[in-house]
Amino acid sequence: MGGSTGDQNGPIETTDRARASEQGATWTKRPTRRAEVPTVEPRPPDPPRPTHGTHLTVDLTVRTALVVLCSAASVWLFLQLWQILLVLLVALTFVGMLNPFVERLEARRIRRPYATALVFGGLFVVAGGAGAATLPGLVRQVTDLVTHFPEAQARLASQLAASKLTAPIAGWVGGLQLASVTERAKEFGLLYAPRAIEIIAYGASALFLALYLVLDRDRMRGAVFSLVPRNYHVRLSRVLMNLEVIVGGYMRGQLITSALMAIFTFVVLTVAGVEHAAALALFAGAADVLPYIGALLACGPAFLAALSRGPTVAIVVLVLLAAYQELESRVIVPRIYGQVLRLPPAAVMLALLIGGKLLGILGALLALPIAAGIRMFIEEMRIALPGEEVDDTALRAKDAEAEAEFEVRSAGVSALDAATIAAEIAEDRRAEDEELIGGPDRKEEAALVPMTSGKPRDPGDE
């Protein structure tokens, strides 16, 4: 390496020495300059990490904070007003049930206030007539039972003691005191009387609210449509129209199941020779509307009335009615409501269980129309489910056509007039679906076809 350095610096040193001799100076060799190497300071060690706890920093924007506050306020408001919301929901159910009758009367050139008065007046007359035909017979049954309780008790105890199977309970029946039974009944009545009065008051409020909603339908509809963007008005009209069909189908299903229960009870009690069979059958049909406790209310009075014919007859009546209740809940209800609400039988059973768990009897009553309404809303709003792939290009094209027609016709009009126009377009689309399905006699099936679908769905695809 040294030789190489000398070879490179030799000519330079010779030239410098010669130049110095010519000038009469002494030449001194300059030291060789070495490249400077930068000094790297050692990196300080990292501070020790904490061995406990985790620090999480969350940056909240003003919008996020407002969303959180509004959500919390909405939950609090719902918890405070959920009973009022239930009253509104029941009132809307009454509206969906009674409004079609009002519109039919309007089609016969009867003004809406008079048509509403006729429909609601007829409802009160029917309810009052059913009560007048049922309650007196029940009161007489209870009075006869209390009056002849000692004789019936002794006869029942002796008949139970005659059989080895029922002998163990004969002593309990013979020792039962009427005073203790009536005392417990009074305590039960006093305990639940305030709650019963509250339920009756809420029911009356829902009925009168439904009356006002039917009377002032146009303005209420305009108020609702004013809160929704115009491009959703046609679809909202279709949703409201389908809700009316769903509620009508649900009430028709209730009438069918109640009528079947009343007919079966009347036949059983008539064959058993029980007095006031018609009144007891009407009460059983009315009680059948109520989930869970409807079976007890339907079977209990019939069983007590059948005790006058002997314990054997009473037990047979109770077994038959209980068996029918089981058949109704497992077979009849899923099939009837599955057809009128277009829900699978498993969905009917699941909706009843969820509604009963959340809100008891009222929840079970409202579970089926709510479930059917949710399914219809998903279809109408074209909400794509995660596991479903459907080519709805034609549907969306016809949706766009209906919305374009609505945009032209509703330009510059108020929300009230826009709601009327949207309802007319939805009715026209349903008329087209009726023609595709098979005529106006199948109007309900046409109403449940997704808006402007262009073709009916095969029931086998459900």
* CA angle centred on 82, ends 194 and 448, rounded to 5°: 115
- Tens place of pLDDT per residue across the chain (462 aa): 444 444 444 555 555 555 555 555 455 555 555 555 555 566 666 555 555 555 556 566 778 888 888 989 988 988 888 888 888 888 888 888 888 889 889 889 899 899 999 999 998 998 888 888 777 877 777 777 777 777 777 777 777 777 776 777 777 777 777 677 677 777 777 777 888 888 888 888 999 999 998 988 888 888 888 888 888 888 888 888 888 888 877 887 888 888 899 999 999 999 998 887 888 888 888 888 877 677 778 888 888 888 777 778 888 999 999 899 888 888 888 877 777 677 787 888 888 888 888 877 778 888 888 888 888 888 777 777 777 676 667 777 777 888 888 888 888 888 888 888 888 888 887 777 666 555 444 444 444 444 333 333 444 444
CA–CA separation, 193 and 40 (whole Å): 90
The pair of three-digit structure tokens given for residue 291, joined into one six-digit string: 């989930």
CA–CA separation, 249 and 252 (whole Å): 5
The pair of three-digit structure tokens given for residue 15, joined into one six-digit string: 């030239």
> In sequence order, which residues have a C-beta less than 8 Å from that of residue 393 and are 6 or more positions away?
none
Tally Cβ neighbours within 10 Å of residue 249: 23
What's the pTM value of the predicted model, to 2 decimals?
A: 0.65
DSSP for 224-244, written as a single string: HHTTS-GGGHHHHHHHHHHHH
| Long-range contacts, stretch 12-16, CB < 8 angstroms, 24+ apart | none
The pair of three-digit structure tokens given for residue 134, joined into one six-digit string: 């049922």
The pair of three-digit structure tokens given for residue 326, joined into one six-digit string: 């089981």
- Is 436 in a helix, a strand, or coil? helix
Phi, psi of 117 (to 5 degrees): -65, -40
Tally Cβ neighbours within 10 Å of residue 248: 20
DSSP for 295-323, written as a single string: HHHHHHHHHHHHGGG-HHHHHHHHHHHHH
> In sequence order, which residues have a C-beta less than 8 Å from that of residue 384 and are 6 or more positions away?
390
Contact 318, 307 (CB under 8 A): no
Distance, CA of 405 to chain centre: 33
DSSP for 441-455, written as a single string: GGHHHHHTSPTT-SS
Tally Cβ neighbours within 10 Å of residue 22: 7
Query: Residue 426 is which amino acid?
Result: A
> In sequence order, which residues have a C-beta less than 8 Å from that of residue 340 and are 6 or more positions away?
249, 250, 252, 253
